[in-house]
Amino acid sequence: MVTFNRRAFLRLLFATSAARLMGKVAPAALAATGLKFSAPKPFSYSWLKQYVRERAAQPYQPPPQPDPSIISKIDYDAHGKLRYRKEFSLYRNSAYPISFQHVGKFFPHTVRMYAVDGTMAREVLYDPSYFTIGENHIATGLEEQPSAFAGFWVHEPVRRGSLDEVEPWATFLGASYFRGVGELGQVGLSARGIALAPGAPGPEEFPDFTAYWFEPAENEAAPVTVYALLDGPSIAGAYRFLLHRTSGVVMDIEANFYPRRTIERFGIAPLTSMYWFSETAKPTMVDWRPEVHDSDGLEMWTGAGERIWRPLNNPPRITISSFQDNNPRGFGLMQRDRNFDHYLDGVRYHKRPSAWVEPQGDWGRGAVQLIEIPAHDEIHDNICAMWVPEVPPGAGNHIEMAYRLHWLAGSPYPSRLARCVATRLGKGGQPGRPRPEGVRKFMVEFLGGPLAELPYGTLPEPALSTSRGTFSYVYTEAVPNNIPGHWRAQFDLTVDGNEPVEMRCYLRDGDTVLTETWLYQYHPILKP
């Protein structure tokens, strides 16, 4: 998996009901936007799936790309000047207008856009006048064909303010990346249509969404419907997105995959995020801020009902962790720490959304895989979480998957158990004595749930296990901050060698489980 320059991505990405007749978009409503359209052609989701099936049986043809010598020069500054003129927004008088984004250095491939009118679709024809292209801008040298559209934004209703001033709530831009706004009003991590062997040796393949078809929302309570064509050297796919604007964003996603070859690590519902450092581990004086991350952990709800929290790492080398499961109930990359004082940054990391994948239907056996890549700055996405089926799909297979993707502040289905809220590492041993080599102290904090209801004098017991090494100085205590239900487990781990250590911990009262299960991968190469 190659890291993605997310700082440039973030900067580039954000800078009255439609007339309807018998459930169709009136052609006059489209014409009133000033956009140019092709002649209508038949369209349906069934047609798209059949088209993709036939396409997958043919050799891959990459999407058109405008003059690379020009596109390579449309960097961050040049792209920022290519603002889409909102008077040309598709469905601009509907519940949720749609605007388009221009190709550039970071988004070089063209994407075709279509407006669906019942059983017919009209392509939105690119015209340079849709964008603020100045006389001396490098983009003036581009021809009108092929199209210079690279992606799209879904906007808030016009009644809420100027489309140039109110940030969009859903964005699709670059390869198969897309994002939603969380309920705290921020964007952060990204989702992807598919992930093919991230973290493997060699360059990762990034299939592209090469065409979108749009159906407008009938009202603000209804979804925007988007159909998408995915294509790449190893796979083709047909998607249907129902985009719901809620307190955050909820996306109902159906995906049909048609591989061109066998794919060993086939990542479904992949999430991509950034984790540089947190209270868990931070190199000395690497940065002035206490924490920098878009997500701080992987949360899982297994098919058997276990609730798991795995804090993220910025590891010394690429690591891939697999969590075997059968019909998982959900997983997500979450941002749990909401305290501004823990970040002190004006980019509002404390408000970044969490993204939760809720499987629909039978996903069978497989694993949630977590890929963690070393990162030395916040500009790179270095975290990926995804579902990998037990049996790799081969050429000619048809894989159909459905899931609901929640962009919220936390899990849409919170556990009744206490949550892990911090993982802290230090030198092992006891104060006032020489600290022994190869011993690491852990402080794992839990908050809420049954811990807040423990009778006075009850001391929860830590249930600990490790893949290797031995524990010592194991005990629990209430965190001395007068917050009910805030407890921590403390223990030392003695281990030899530099290979990673897998640990588990939860708190219990007799046979009663009080907390979710904390999993952690410790890298002893990070010396105390």
Q: Within 13 Å of residue 69, how many CA atoms lie on the same side as its CB? A: 2
pLDDT-derived band at 15, boundaries 50, 70, 90:
very low
User: Does 368 share its domain with 488?
Assistant: no
User: Does 404 share its domain with 433?
Assistant: no
pLDDT-derived band at 31, boundaries 50, 70, 90:
low
Question: What CATH number does the domain containing 442 carry?
Answer: 2.60.40.10
Query: Which tokens belong to 24?
Result: 């169709």
Whether 388 has a pLDDT exceeding 50, the answer reads yes
User: Does 458 share its domain with 512?
Assistant: yes
User: Does 266 share its domain with 362?
Assistant: yes
- Could you say which of 408, 443, 474 is where a domain stops? 408
Q: Is residue 328 domain-resident? A: yes
pLDDT-derived band at 317, boundaries 50, 70, 90:
very high
**pLDDT at residue 24, rounded to an integer:** 45
User: Does 359 share its domain with 386?
Assistant: yes
User: Does 393 share its domain with 451?
Assistant: no
Q: Is residue 288 domain-resident? A: yes
Q: Is residue 386 domain-resident? A: yes
**pLDDT at residue 461, rounded to an integer:** 97
For 420-473, the pLDDT digits (tens) are 999 999 999 888 788 888 899 999 999 999 999 999 999 999 999 999 999 999
Element (H, E) at 498: none
User: Does 335 share its domain with 427?
Assistant: no
- Could you say which of 388, 408, 428 is where a domain stops? 408
Whether 160 has a pLDDT exceeding 90, the answer reads no
Question: What CATH number does the domain containing 266 carry?
Answer: 2.70.98.10
Q: Is residue 297 domain-resident? A: yes
**pLDDT at residue 435, rounded to an integer:** 82
Q: Hey, which residues does 389 pair with through a beta bridge?
A: 366
Residue 60 contacts residue 139 (beta carbons within 8 Å): no
User: Does 40 share its domain with 112?
Assistant: yes
Q: Is residue 341 domain-resident? A: yes
For 240-284, the pLDDT digits (tens) are 999 999 999 999 999 999 999 999 899 999 999 999 999 998 888
User: Does 403 share its domain with 254?
Assistant: yes
Kindly report the average pLDDT of the chain as a whole number.
91
Q: Is residue 414 domain-resident? A: no
Query: Which 3 state secondary structure label does DSSP give 390?
Result: coil
**pLDDT at residue 19, rounded to an integer:** 32
**Do strands 112-117 and 208-215 pair parallel, antiparallel, or not at all (unpaired)?**
parallel
Torsions phi, psi of 74, nearest 5?
Answer: -85, 80
User: Does 355 share its domain with 385?
Assistant: yes
The Cα-based distances of 326 to 147, 371, 390 in angstroms read 44, 20, 10
How confident is the model over 141-169, as a mean pLDDT? 87
Q: Is residue 185 domain-resident? A: yes
Cβ contacts of residue 150 below 8 Å, gap of 6+? Answer: 100, 101, 102, 103, 104, 107, 108, 109, 110, 111, 173, 174
User: Does 123 share its domain with 256?
Assistant: yes
How confident is the model over 53-68, as a mean pLDDT? 92
* pLDDT above 70 coverage of the chain, percent: 93
Q: Is residue 52 domain-resident? A: yes
DSSP states along 292-354: EES--EEEEE-TT--EEEEE----SS-EEEEEEEES--EEEEE-----GGGT--TT-GGGPPE
Cβ contacts of residue 394 below 8 Å, gap of 6+? Answer: 259, 261, 262
The domain tally of the chain equals 2
Whether 7 has a pLDDT exceeding 50, the answer reads no
pLDDT-derived band at 131, boundaries 50, 70, 90:
very high
Beta strands in 361-398 (DSSP E): 365-372, 380-381, 383-389
Residue 497 domain boundaries = 419-522
User: Does 475 share its domain with 367?
Assistant: no
- Could you say which of 368, 385, 408 is where a domain stops? 408
Cβ contacts of residue 349 below 8 Å, gap of 6+? Answer: 188, 291, 292, 293, 294, 335, 343
Whether 64 has a pLDDT exceeding 50, the answer reads yes
Where is average pLDDT lowest: 2-11, 192-201, 210-219?
A: 2-11
Question: Scanning the structure block, which residue is given the tokens 């690429």?
Answer: 318
